[in-house]
Amino acid sequence: MRLSGRVAVVTGAARGIGAAEAIRLAQEGANVAVVDLSAEAAEETVEAVEAAGAEALAVACDVSSAQQVEAAFEEIANRFGRIDILINNAGVLRDNLTFKMSEDDWDTVLDVHLKGSFLCSKAAQKYMVEQEYGKIVMTSSIVALGNRGQANYSSAKAGLQALARTLALELGRFNINVNAVAPGWIETEMTKEAAERAGMSMEDMKERFAKNIPLKRFGRVEDIANVVAFLVSDDASYISGE
Ligand code: NAD
């Protein structure tokens, strides 16, 4: 129960890594705002958070819209009275080789991952600065330094590492820690969709890529949730900008 009395916001928490993070933070004692494109989609995670003994709030919000983000954080702060933890996790893929990538594919990915994390961090830090307490985690990726067919995604993920470091520098004096996680291959709907687009089943993809992974397997959503739970706990109070 390292997060007893804390209020966490997890974006893109209806499924996948975000859902696992919301549940893990609840198991550590935090109340959780489950943010996703629709409140209905967030319902399953809300039930799991409540089953873990915490309070949950489903919040419909497109993180790439400044107006929606502002309203969402106001609603969350009104409901719980504070905002201690923000996990910027919402994401989408629009993979293509650069010569075939549309402007819309570029904008969508940059807007959801990078602009979305900027907008949510900006909204959350207002409360965190007042409290002189806060933890922010960005979700980067192992492909942040480039990957074939992912000019948009890799660029956004590299940007998130820069954003984490910049916010760590700006907000450290207010006792706010900002870090990024950069997962490798994790088995989720996003990965399944990527496999299907490449004409492979999830099982084929796992077999093909696991060979080059030191642990010889894909990650589970809980593997990321466990690291994030550590990073937002006071066990990690001297880790920032990493
Ligand atoms: P996922 O597709 O299963 O879940 C993403 C969630 O984000 C969905 O619930 C979706 O509705 C939500 N979302 C999308 N656009 C949104 C928006 N504009 N506003 C609010 N919510 C929105 O994906 P996942 O595999 O769980 O990935 C979660 C995060 O982890 C992403 O940022 C992804 O880039 C990152 N990541 C994933 C992997 C992997 O292998 N799965 C690896 C490295 C990083």
Alpha carbons 170 and 22: distance in angstroms, whole number: 26
Which whole number is the average pLDDT over 46-50?
98
Mean per-residue pLDDT, 114-131: 98
Question: What distance in Å separates the CA atoms of residue 200 and residue 86, rounded to the nearest whole number?
Answer: 35
Query: So what's the pLDDT on residue 192?
Result: 95
Short-list 74, 38, 43, 69, CA closest to 56? 43
pLDDT of 146 reads: 97
Confidence band for 174, pLDDT divided at 50, 70 and 90: very high
Identify whether the C-beta of residue 142 lies closer than 8 Å to the C-beta of residue 183: yes
pLDDT digits (tens, 9 = 90+) for 159-169: 999 999 999 99
Residue 127 falls in the annotated catalytic set: no
Phi and psi at 186, nearest 5°, equal -120, 140
pTM comes to 0.98
Ligand 1 mutation pick, 70, 92, 193, max ligand atoms within 8 A of CB: 92
Atom 19 of ligand 1 has which residue's CA nearest to it?
62
Tell me which residues have their CB closer than 6 angstroms to ligand 1: 11-12, 14-18, 36-37, 62-64, 89-92, 112-113, 116, 139, 141, 183, 185-186, 188-191
Query: How large is the average pLDDT for residues 191-202?
Result: 92
| Interval between CA 184 and ligand 1 midpoint (Å) | 13
- If residue 73 lies in a helix (H) or strand (E), which one and from where to where? helix 66-80
